[in-house]
Structure 1
Amino acid sequence: MSGSLVGPAVQAETYTPDKLLLTDYPVITRTVTILAGQTIQRGHLLGRITASGKYIISLSAASDGSQTPCAIAADNITTGGSDASTGVFEAGEFNEAGVILGTAHTLASVRPALTARGIHLKAAVAA
């Protein structure tokens, strides 16, 4: 046999956990459309605009349906001048300290709507 023996290549990336997910509690994800002009970070609470079905950061003062949070952003995304698709969490158990609240929302104000959808916010407990 001629030639040299070549082993498998290994690629490494630095993993930095954000502790958004708390346990092995079942998580449900879905791909949604984010409205143009948004800069969203993983963990942002998102609301759905009733008329278009597109998602934006949930703000308490909104009146287009998005004032009620219904999902948590699974990834960072900047949409720029056009709508874009991204993944969201629609159910699961999440670290309340890892969730990013929109203007005028509090954990107490969002918890009922999220719990009704199967999104549970809990304080992380140190081991």
Structure 2
Amino acid sequence: MATDILDEFKPDGLIVDTRISALPKEIKIQKGQGLLLRGTVLGKIKENNLCVILDSTKTDGSQEPYCVLADDVETEVKDVVSTGYFTGIFDKSSLIFGGSDTVDIHEDKLRKLNIHVK
């Protein structure tokens, strides 16, 4: 009897500890950002509630951390529904930020959201 594997978990090092569970929730990502990779830290635009790459130079709400993108997603053509992690312990070198931002700039704010880095 053959068994099909529909989806298989392959650790990539983004989640480094399970003492705080990575809590996934559905999010909507704004179009026009191209391919966003798993581990991208997202902010949320207050006016339209769409997620974009976190960038501290913005003033529309997306300068504040909101979640960590759980999967690669192509956003070039249309807004996309995907999944973000709202809690967890993540590898700091695996997180992706917009502009010239780094984990050091956002670590305190991420911690307040129960998103921790190692």
Q: TM-score, normalised by structure 1?
A: 0.83
Q: Deviations over 1:69-94 (max 9, x none)?
A: 12100000012222110000000100
Q: Deviations over 1:16-67 (max 9, x none)?
A: 5320001222111110100011221000010000111110001121111101
Aligned to 1:22: 16
Count of aligned pairs: 116
Aligned to 2:27: 32
Structure 2 residue runs without a partner (length 5+): none
Aligned to 2:92: 96
Aligned to 1:118: 114
Aligned to 1:105: 101
Distance 2:27 2:6 in 1: 30
Report the identity percentage: 27
- Is the Cα contact below 8 Å between 2:43 and 2:61 reproduced in 1? yes
Name which one, 1 or 2, has greater alpha-carbon Rg.
1
User: What's the secondary structure of 1:17's corresponding residue?
Assistant: coil
User: What's the secondary structure of 1:69's corresponding residue?
Assistant: coil
Distance 1:74 1:89 in 2: 6
Aligned to 1:52: 48
Q: After TM superposition, which residue ranges in structure 1, 4 or more long, deviate above 4 angstroms?
A: 10-16
Distance 2:24 2:8 in 1: 24
Instruction: Pick one of 58, 61, 64 that aligns with 2:60.
Output: 64
Q: TM-score, normalised by structure 2?
A: 0.88
Distance 1:34 1:88 in 2: 10
